[in-house]
Amino acid sequence: MKILVAGGAGYIGSVVTEELVKDGHNVVVYDSLYKGHRGAVVRGATFIHGDLLERAKLSAALREHNIEAVIHLAADSLVGESVQNPAKYYHNNVFAGLALLDAMRECKVRRIVFSSTAATYGEPEKQPLEERDPTAPTNPYGETKLAFERALHWYEEAYGIHYAALRYFNAAGATTHCGEHHNPETHLIPILLQAASGQRPQVEIYGDDYPTRDGTCVRDYIHVVDLARAHILALDILNARSAIYNLGCGGEGYTVKEVIAAAQHVTGREIPVRVGARRSGDPAVLIASSDKIKRELGWSPQKQDLHEIIASAWQWMQQHPHGYADEK
């Protein structure tokens, strides 16, 4: 297929692109490089440096490359920042996203896989979370992702654009070529690995008074390649229908302290930690039921072991100590 990956120079987008190219698809990466990295654009993909709001450029990309499907991962994704600056999230995650949908309408591209999030659920009433559970986001990040999901629903009704909205839980890990490089970094695993490699003095645990097995938050970590493979499976349904799928490994998840222990084990280094206050907006437990995507698309995660996930991120970090900063 001919696929445009919006945000294909970002962490998850680069791995999705890598898997698509491996499978023999023709991929156009469309990225403003506002967060993404030129060095993360996978060899074998065509790169277009553009913003979703540059309508003429975007439409030309869709038309000239005969794009049949779009995978949309071009968005802001920091919960805390979204509370401080909701305008940015409505602008980038809703307004610019709608511009992409309108360009797709104009160019008659009727398939889209959308990068959504567990943050659409808000504070969960039960675990594990299923797709039919109530959505009540507690921050503008989750709210804007849900708003875009709702837009997809109505665009399907009116314009026949089929969509798959994939609600990611905690993406982690790396491939040989592609890894996680954010500035600032806020995610637990890369922060731990930065501390293990001496790039930061210590790691703060955001609260140890949660009602969990050791008092720290429980999350459902999923290897980024397993996440990427789900995008490719989801493309297959888009001829006929739309769907929303959770993506996590399920089970018991891992507490922050368990992740720290695993990171120390994998790196063989002591990681200095201190317990700090809770981070606002963190639910105590977020675990996915991914039964729906397993049942309907035959997806199953191949790398469920946390040590294996962390080891892949550690290997990438050792080979790219400054992330993509040294690559042009």
Please report, as ranges, the residues that interact with ligand UFG according to CB under 6 A.
77, 79, 117-119, 141, 170, 186-188, 191, 203-206, 217, 219, 256, 279, 282, 286
Q: Tell me the two tokens of residue 245.
A: 């799928």
Residue 216: CB minimum distance to ligand UFG, A: 7
Distance in Å, CB of 85 to ligand UFG, minimum: 15
Closer Cβ to ligand UFG, 9 or 45, answer by number = 9
H-state helical runs in 160-223: 188-196
Three-state secondary-structure class, residue 126 = coil
CB of 168 to ligand UFG, least distance (A): 7
A 10 A CB-CB count for 72 gives: 26
Of 64 and 204, the one with the shorter C-beta distance to ligand UFG is: 204
Q: Which residue has the tokens 């507490």?
A: 255
DSSP 210-269: SSSSSSS-EE-EEEHHHHHHHHHHHHGGGGT--EEEEE---TT-EEHHHHHHHHHHHHTS
Q: Which of helix, strand or coil describes residue 104?
A: helix
Q: What is the DSSP string of 62-93?
A: HHHTT--EEEE--S---HHHHHH-HHHHIIII
Give the nearer residue to ligand UFG in terms of CB position, either 187 or 294. Answer: 187
CB of 115 to ligand UFG, least distance (A): 10
> Which of residues 60 and 136 has its CB atom nearest to ligand UFG in the complex?
136
Quick one: 66 or 280, whose CB is closer to ligand UFG? 280
The number of angstroms, rounded, from the C-alpha of 147 to the middle of its chain's C-alpha atoms is 17
User: Which residues have a Cβ under 8 Å from the Cβ of 168 and sit 6 or more positions away?
Assistant: 12, 115, 116, 117, 118, 222, 227, 247, 248
**CB-CB neighbours of 157 under 10 Å:** 10
CB neighbours of residue 196 within 10 Å: 22
Which of 141, 155, 254, 324 does the annotation list as catalytic?
141
- How far is 226 from 294, CA to CA, in rounded Å? 12
- In the complex, the smallest distance separating the C-beta of residue 315 from ligand UFG, rounded to whole angstroms, is 19
Distance CA 49, CA 273 (A): 40
At residue 71, what are phi and psi to the nearest 5 degrees? -115, 120
Q: How far is the CB of 82 from ligand UFG (least distance, A)?
A: 9
For residue 111, the 8-state DSSP code is E
**Shortest Å distance, C-beta 146 to ligand UFG:** 11
Q: Does 141 participate in catalysis according to the annotation?
A: yes
For ligand UFG, the nearest residue by Cβ is 217
Q: Which is nearer to ligand UFG, 50 or 250 (CB)?
A: 250
Closer CB to ligand UFG, residue 104 or residue 309? Answer: 309
Which residues are known catalytic residues? 141
